[in-house]
Amino acid sequence: MKISIFLLGLALITVSLSARTWTSTSGSTIEAEMVSKNNMGVSLRRADGSEIFVKFDQLCEADREFAEGGSSAASEGLSYNLPEALAVMVEERGLLLMEDNFNREDSDDKDDLGGPWTTNSDSRAMGDKQNDLVDGELVMTISPRADHAISTNFMPKESYGDCLLFVRMKLEEGGQLKLAYNDKADKSVWAGHINGVTMNEKSIVLADERSARFKMEYRENKNSKEYKDAVAAAEKTFPSEIEADEWYEVVTLHRGDTLTLYLNGEEVATHSSPGFDHPTKNHFAFAVPDKAIVDDFYLWKLKPVDVGEN
């Protein structure tokens, strides 16, 4: 059974506990249910449905002990890491557009991921099964009959500009995974390609595809100096320390015209280009030319910063 999670800090686990009396270090009390926690504190829901966040150091010793032990009630929940600044950003501005832990069964003979996920296996791989749910993981393996990389994709409930994505990833030797952020309504680019992050053992590429590689005006003139100069400015390549058969926690942050990539909590790549700031991205895809495995997928839309905030 899938458990909803809202990550705040190093690990946020959703819990469901009955309402109780909480006491602060100053002696004030509140009747509330603990709905979630992170490394900094707990979120409490009052009877009227409103929620407050209370830091651990503001709770009496007994309530701190209760909250810290509460995670055992959510043994089916998931946890994952975010750098602290990004955890705060999600807490303050995040709207969860999509989450999936892939913990379910699918068809044995065709792509059948459930939810909003669709694939290109029917159109580009003669209907061969290229997406398989195995032990709570999404395994994407290209068919020998495919004439295009796997595209496993969905359209979220609303479009997004600034956003934060988390996913676990594992590649085989020589494997590659692209995280593609698209706008299917944008006809100025080929097939709605806006930007993407491509990762393998040798390199990591942050690409503003809207400004260069997939811009329609360049489609017929890719040998021109103008096109080559545009690609050089819009894309940036970084060395990769990704190793085959190892799990990585991948986080991407779109913030204005800057795209930043984190692996296992460490910033490893950042690049600024106009296409990253495209405000109406309305589609996401995993693009896989061979094989890749993913798990624990989350996509948050980041609401605009209020006037007067930093």
Whether 113 and 157 map to the same domain: the answer is: yes
CATH number for the domain including 44? Answer: 2.30.30.700
Q: Lowest-confidence range among 45-59, 108-122, 262-276?
A: 45-59
pLDDT at 134 over 50: yes
Confidence at residue 37, expressed as pLDDT on a 0 to 100 scale: 60
Mean pLDDT of the chain: 87
Mean pLDDT of 126-144: 97
Please tell me which residue, 185 or 80, carries the higher pLDDT value.
185
Q: Which domain-ending residue is among 21, 51, 79?
A: 79
Tell me, yes or no, whether 69 lies in a domain: yes
Tens of pLDDT, residue by residue over 175-230, are: 999 999 999 999 999 999 999 999 999 999 999 999 999 999 998 888 999 999 99
pLDDT (0 to 100) of residue 5: 35
Same domain, yes or no, for 66 and 108? no
**pLDDT the model gives residue 18:** 55
Evaluate whether residue 172 is within a structural domain: yes
**Identity (one letter) of the amino acid at 148?**
H
Residues 143 and 61 in one domain: no
Could you give the number of structural domains in the chain? Answer: 2
pLDDT of 124 over the 80 cut: yes
Q: Would the pTM of this model clear 0.85, i.e. be above it? A: no
- Cα–Cα distance, 135 to 296 (Å, whole number): 12
Res 39 pLDDT > 90: no
Q: Are residues 163 and 280 in the same domain?
A: yes
Is the same domain home to 210 and 138? yes
CB-based contacts of 97: which residues, under 8 Å, 6+ apart? 156, 157, 158, 160, 163, 299, 300, 301
pLDDT of residue 16: 34
The answer to whether residue 4 is domain-embedded is: no
Same domain, 108 and 140: yes
Residue 171 and residue 276 in one domain: yes
Domain enclosing residue 190, as ranges: 97-302
Residues 82, 39, 22, 15, CA torsion sign:
positive
* CATH code of the domain containing 122: 2.60.120.560
Regarding whether 254 and 107 lie in a shared domain, the answer is: yes
- The Cα 84–Cα 77 span in angstroms is 20
Q: Check whether residue 58 and residue 197 sit in a common domain.
A: no
Residues 248 and 284 in one domain: yes
Cα 86 to Cα 166, 300, 305: the distances in Å are: 11, 11, 14
Mean pLDDT of 99-118: 92
- Residue 88 gets the label, from left (phi > 0), alpha (psi -120 to 50) or beta, of alpha
Looking at 76-85, 123-132, 252-261, 293-302, which range is the least confident one? 76-85
SS (H, E, C) the chain: CCCCCCCCCCCCEECCCCCEEEEECCCCEEEEEEEEECCCEEEEECCCCCEEEEEHHHECHHHHHHHHHHHHHHCCCCCCCCCHHHHHHHHHHEEEEEEECCCCCCCCCCCCCCCCCEECHHHHCCCCCCEEEECCEEEEECCCCCCCCEEEEECCCCCECCEEEEEEEEECCCCEEEEEEECCCCCCEHHHEEEEEEEECCEEEEEECCCCCCEHHHCCCCCCHHHHHHHHHHEEEEECCCCCCCEEEEEEEEECCEEEEEECCEEEEEEECHHHHCCCECEEEEEECCEEEEEEEEEEEECCCCCCCC
Residues 137 and 243 in one domain: yes
Are 166 and 36 in a shared domain?
no
Q: Which of 79, 111, 126 is the last residue of a domain?
A: 79
Residue 69's pLDDT is 65
In the predicted structure, residue 4 carries a pLDDT above the cut 80: no
pLDDT at 74 over 70: no
Q: Give the pLDDT band of residue 89 (cuts 50, 70, 90).
A: very high
19: left (phi over 0), alpha (psi -120 to 50) or beta: beta
- For the stretch 259-297, pLDDT in tens is 999 999 999 999 999 999 999 999 999 999 999 999 999
In a domain, 247, yes or no: yes
Residue 292 lies in a domain: yes
pLDDT band for position 245 (50/70/90)? very high
